[in-house]
Amino acid sequence: MKLTTFLLLLTCAASAAPVGKRVDIGGRTLHIVCMGEGPRTVLMESGAAEGFYEWWLVQSALKGEIRTCSYDRAGFGWSDPPSSERSVANYISDLHELLRRNGEKPPFILAGHSMGGSIVQRYYWRYPSEVAGIIAVDPINAESNQAKVPEMQQAIAAHRARRTKEMEAWRASGNWPKQDFPSALPVDLRAQLIAASASRNWWEARFGEGALPDLDVTMSAEERHIGVPLVVIAARWTKPAGWSDEATERFRQHWLDGQKEIASRSEHSRIVFTDVGHEVPIEAPELIAREIRAMARVVWP
């Protein structure tokens, strides 16, 4: 066998092997990555179009102290595609079954980034007795019918239009691109992720999260109430390309207003500010780890 062929086979084998383990949730498997030991678990929910790897640095910082688990939602990474409509409601059902079948014991601390911040709150609203506390990391506010910023809506629509054309071309050719991943991740993990990302399931999952039918919902203040400790970590968004200073500041204020409303949902909440950008789990993992440690001391005495 030629050396180049041998190396190619090694690369394919590495990309096929999951980083964590696949757990059968009833005819499908989801990929979960847990670090550390302990009687309780911190569950970490990634932002839109992202996988478990977003939390790698935070988990690594905590692995000697607290048990943490991150996972790939249906279709991402090493998780099977969904068996029905892709939706927030189905994500929550999947997560509940994943935690149960993996033997994780509630009550959990739930940490969610961006869209994941909304998902973990909705998990609490469905299963309140299973949640001890919530850490929402630069979360979206998708439940209070907050007005949209026109510039951001235009940017989202333009990105969706470009990606729709790309998806059509990739589906037709069967050639799926490799995704890039944060340079802060370990080199070997990045290589494994890059190799695994060139698949239809991966890109269909990313594309599908741009049109979740139940992401934006209108809930009353009573329905939005959270009866456990809540920490909101608020980042400072970098200026998007082509935006004016005025539009950027208007969007930052809009985002912060939404996060203040989220914080108001719990009588036991606080907002932690950081100057890093939206990708807080990658840019400031120790900040999140610190807040998890502090919450664990309170809710898991």
Q: What is the pLDDT along the chain (301 residues), one digit of tens a residue?
A: 444 333 333 334 335 789 999 999 999 999 999 999 999 999 999 999 999 999 999 999 999 999 999 999 999 999 999 999 999 999 999 999 999 999 999 999 999 999 999 999 999 999 999 999 999 999 999 999 999 999 999 999 999 999 999 999 999 999 999 999 999 999 999 999 999 999 999 999 999 999 999 999 999 999 999 999 999 999 999 999 999 999 999 999 999 999 999 999 999 999 999 999 999 999 999 999 999 999 999 999 8
pLDDT at residue number 301 = 82
- Is there a contact between 78 and 50 (Cβ–Cβ < 8 Å)? no
pLDDT at residue number 4 = 37
Question: Which class is 3-299 in CATH?
Answer: alpha beta
Task: Kindly tell me the sign of the dihedral angle through the C-alpha atoms of 278, 51, 96, 205.
Answer: positive
pLDDT at residue number 60 = 98
| Cα 236 to Cα 192: distance, rounded to the nearest angstrom | 31
Q: CA Rg, the chain, in Å?
A: 19
The H or E element that residue 157 is part of is helix 150-173
Q: Which residue's entry shows tokens 């969610």?
A: 112
Q: So where are the chain's domains? A: 3-299
pLDDT at residue number 22 = 98
pLDDT at residue number 2 = 44
pTM of the model: 0.94
pLDDT at residue number 232 = 98
